[in-house]
Amino acid sequence: MKYTGSIQLSAMRRWRLAAPWLVSALLAACGGGGGGGSSASASLSGVAVDGYLQGASVFLDVNRNGILDAGEPSTTTDANGRYTLDYSSVSSSVKGLPIVVTGGIDSDTGYAFAGRLSAPVDLAASAQVVSPLTSLVDALVAQGAATDAAAARAMVASALGLSAADLLKDPVAAIANQPAIYAQQVALQRAVQMLASANAEPNESAHDAQERVIKALALAIRAQTSAVSVGQLVSGIASGQMKETEAGRKLAEAVQETVQSALGRTDGRNQAKAVLKAMDQLRHQMESSGDYDLTRAATRLDGDYGLSTSAPFTKLTNTSHTDDGDGINTVNTLFKPSTTVTQPANTSGRLLASNCFQCHGTGGVGGFDGIRGSSASEVKEFLTKAPRSNIMAAHAQGYTSAQLDAVIAYLKQ
């Protein structure tokens, strides 16, 4: 039943004045209160999570092009990764359309989130969870490998030894009872980001590169006949389709096993956060050096931090010894946030330097490669490199030379 033309619209307006209840009944019969956007209160609520993503962009990709276009419903996540997306402006059904999440800060690591997550709208779900696993679900639907979201969830769940209902759960909230769900999610996201870096094409955005990796993993899921780990799923990417899949497997398995081991310890959530920070350091070390050997990356980091004797990064990558806890204990101390923050005397470059802190930690230490003290001067070296050569060059060339001098002076304190 569909009303078109001025006569019907005029009649509808008269009916609204005469009998509001009749209009409600007619709209309900026409589907006006369902999956379309004719209801003024139509909204989707949920959570964006690797760890909870704070201040991330969330949008409904109405035309399925992966880009936030003018007129598409959008919003921003709160401090707990929650969002509410008003889609009342969308005239067609939103069922199955992708919810896309980009940017923000991963609350479990404090680092900027460089990933891209998506999930097909499921109007039957009370909350729309957007996570690394739902990104696989969305990729299966988009490629026509599954008839709908429910079928895609069943495929992903079967491949990874989960239930379909597990993919609708907030993985952080499920930590207490089902830590494996969280461990698989974070392992998957880090493998995707590393593979995207290793296989990026010239002038390709990080999000486009990640989308190619997700599609390749979706194809690997179709080929699975039994449950596998995230690392084994990465290994299942068709031979020759992507390079460094073996490195991706090793990283995924190190993350999954070590995070799950950390979650089983006292104060497990904070232990897991420290492990994730260390694992992100390892991934960044491989990406920045172009050397995707996990053991060598761990050795370099142990040396950079002056921890060659205790070798916590090396121990974290040796998954057969994660239960001894030595690596976990050390990185938990290394990445434990300070309870007090002392500001240096000269703070003129602090605001400019704050952009650096998203990846390199407050004050330039505790995140990716340290840039505090004598290392600060190295920032200027990136002014001579091609803007697309690496992320540091892109950041550095967003400042003037004078601004970089102010940043360096602040960090040298």
Phi and psi (nearest 5°) for 101? -125, 130
The pair of three-digit structure tokens given for residue 301, joined into one six-digit string: 């980091």
Topology adopted by domain 43-130: Immunoglobulin-like (2.60.40)
Task: Show pLDDT as tens, one digit a residue, over the chain (413 residues).
Answer: 443 443 333 443 443 444 443 334 333 344 443 444 434 468 999 999 999 999 999 999 999 988 899 999 999 999 999 999 999 999 999 999 999 999 999 999 988 888 899 999 998 888 999 999 999 999 999 999 999 999 999 999 999 999 999 999 999 999 989 999 999 999 999 999 999 999 999 888 888 899 999 999 999 999 888 999 999 999 999 988 999 999 999 999 999 999 999 998 888 888 899 999 999 999 999 999 999 999 999 999 999 888 888 889 998 888 665 445 667 777 777 776 544 445 566 667 767 776 676 566 555 555 455 566 555 667 777 777 776 666 676 777 777 777 878 888 877 76
Diameter over CA atoms, the chain: 84
Amino acid at 364: G
Measure the CA–CA gap between 150 and 412, rounded to whole angstroms. Answer: 54
The pair of three-digit structure tokens given for residue 387, joined into one six-digit string: 């803007």
Please, are residues 218 and 150 in contact by the beta-carbon 8 Å criterion?
Answer: no
Measure the CA–CA gap between 148 and 138, rounded to whole angstroms. Answer: 9
Domain layout of the chain by residue ranges: 1-30, 43-130, 179-334, 350-411
CATH number of 350-411, picked from 1.10.760, 1.10.3470, 3.30.420, 2.40.160: 1.10.760
Model confidence, pTM = 0.73
Neighbours of 293 (CB within 10 A): 15
Measure the CA–CA gap between 375 and 19, rounded to whole angstroms. Answer: 74
Q: Give the distance from CA 406 to its chain's centroid.
A: 32
Measure the CA–CA gap between 131 and 53, rounded to whole angstroms. Answer: 10
